[in-house]
Amino acid sequence: GQSLEQPSEVTAVEGAIVQINCTYQTSGFYGLSWYQQHDGGAPTFLSYNALDGLEETGRFSSFLSRSDSYGYLLLQELQMKDSASYFCAVRGLEGGSYIPTFGRGTSLIVHP
Amino acid sequence: KAGVTQTPRYLIKTRGQQVTLSCSPISGHRSVSWYQQTPGQGLQFLFEYFSETQRNKGNFPGRFSGRQFSNSRSEMNVSTLELGDSALYLCASSLASGRSTDTQYFGPGTRLTVL
């Protein structure tokens, strides 16, 4: 099966930088995705890494190391609105189907 | 462009009943996936449809089923409801299917409560 590990909670202050790590186990790896979900809201796509390295999108960056089965999401210049849950997700081959599996989520709390 | 829409937004049912949830994807998107989100199990994949065909299926019992219509709208059905089926059911749409489907756009979800 597939599994992902990410911290349950991370706290930081406004304006700081925070990194949310994700380690995964999967067969037939096809990429690591990150989603943001505010309380009561729907998950929103943030980034996708299929190859090793860093992908940057504004204040958010995502990194992948396939050899280490590891990735992280980097949030810079934190704002109060960044307080949300962040999920990493992988899609792997399982039982003939391409199954997306999500981590349990990291609750990011940004303090003023 | 309008986002993913789901109806109804809230639903209360009793054990043993069945329920049908509806999802309209973003215009032009042909893939629709369904997920169940609960505090205990997190976000879990139910199934994915592309061009009216189920392409991928998660590890859920046969009580959970779905279909997709020619206009890409999708429905999921849960029969013989159990208390444990209480959850937020999310629909996500994307342009493609299979391993390339990693940019998904989620709808607001249907909150199902089973009493």
A92 → chain B, closest CA residue: B99
Distance from CA of A96 to the nearest CA of B (A): 8
User: Among residues of chain A, what percentage have pLDDT more than 70?
Assistant: 100
User: What is the residue type of B21?
Assistant: L
**Predicted confidence (pLDDT) per residue in A49-67, tens digit:** 989 999 998 999 999 999 9
Query: Helix/strand/coil (H, E, C) string of chain B?
Result: CCCCEEECCEEEECCCCCEEEEEECCCCCCEEEEEEEECCCEEEEEEEEECCEEEEECCCCCCEEEEECCCCCEEEEECCCCHHHCEEEEEEEECCCHHHCCCCEECCCEEEEEC
Unique residue bearing structure tokens 């796509």: A45
What integer pLDDT is reported at residue A96 of this predicted model? 79
Query: Which of the four pLDDT bands, split at 50, 70 and 90, describes residue A112?
Result: very high
Contacts of B63 (CB under 8 A, 6+ apart): B78, B79, B80
Could you read off the pLDDT of A29-48 as tens digits, one per residue?
Answer: 778 999 999 998 999 999 99
Residues 54-83 of A with CB under 8 A from B: none
